[in-house]
C-alpha cells in the first residue's frame, strides 16, 4: 500500500521524523512495515505492488502499476518458476519506449500483450519475465506516463 503526504517548507529539510501507527486492527493481526521511500517533488513515481495482490500464490495474475519518468529504469519484482510474457498498458503523451517495445508518439492509451501477440500501436518485443528474475525495463519518454504491467506467474 502506498501512502502519500507532501512536505511543504521554504528551506531545505534537515531531518524528518516519522510516526507510523496502525488503528482499528484486530488484536490477532500483525502489521509489518517493509520499507519507507521519500521522494523529492509533488508526484509519486515508480512501480508499486497492487495492494490486492500482496501475498499472491504462484499461478495467479500479478499486477504492477505506477508513474514512470523519462530515463527511469522500471523494476517489477517477480519470482516466477517459469518465464511469462507481460501485458503493458501505458497512458502518456509524446515519443515513448518501454524496454524493447517502441510505442511511438503517444497521445493517450496504448497497450501491448505478449501472451496474445497483440499491440494497439508501435513495434518491438513485448517484455518477458524470465525464470526467477525481476522484470527490468529501460524507458525513453517525452514526459511522465502511467504504466500498468501484468503477467501470470506459472508453475
Quick check: 84 pLDDT over 50?
yes
Residue spans of the domains in the chain: they are 46-152
Using the predicted structure, report yes or no on whether residue 22 has a pLDDT greater than 70.
yes
- Rounded to the nearest 10 degrees, how much is the dihedral formed by the CA atoms of 7, 12, 14, 19? 0
CATH architecture of 46-152: Sandwich (2.60)
Full-model pTM = 0.62
Question: How far is Cα 56 from Cα 138, in angstroms, rounded to an integer?
Answer: 26
Q: pLDDT band for position 1 (50/70/90)?
A: very low
Burial of 6 (0-12, 13-18, 19+ CB in 10 A): exposed
Amino acid at each position: 500500500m502506498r501512502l502519500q503526504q507532501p512536505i511543504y517548507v521554504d528551506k531545505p529539510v534537515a531531518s524528518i521524523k516519522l510516526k507510523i501507527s496502525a488503528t482499528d486492527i484486530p488484536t490477532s493481526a500483525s502489521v509489518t512495515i517493509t520499507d519507507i521511500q521519500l521522494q523529492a517533488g509533488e508526484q509519486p513515481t515508480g512501480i508499486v505492488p497492487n495492494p490486492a495482490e500482496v501475498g499472491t500464490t504462484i499461478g495467479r495474475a500479478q499486477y504492477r502499476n505506477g508513474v514512470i519518468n523519462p530515463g527511469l529504469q522500471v523494476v517489477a519484482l517477480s519470482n516466477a518458476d517459469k518465464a511469462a510474457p507481460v501485458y503493458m498498458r501505458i497512458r502518456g503523451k509524446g515519443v515513448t519506449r518501454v524496454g524493447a517495445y517502441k510505442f511511438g508518439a503517444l497521445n493517450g492509451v496504448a497497450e501491448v500483450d505478449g501472451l496474445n501477440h497483440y499491440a494497439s500501436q508501435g513495434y518491438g518485443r513485448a517484455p518477458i519475465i524470465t525464470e526467477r528474475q525481476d522484470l527490468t525495463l529501460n524507458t525513453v519518454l517525452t514526459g511522465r506516463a502511467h504504466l500498468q504491467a501484468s503477467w501470470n506467474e506459472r508453475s
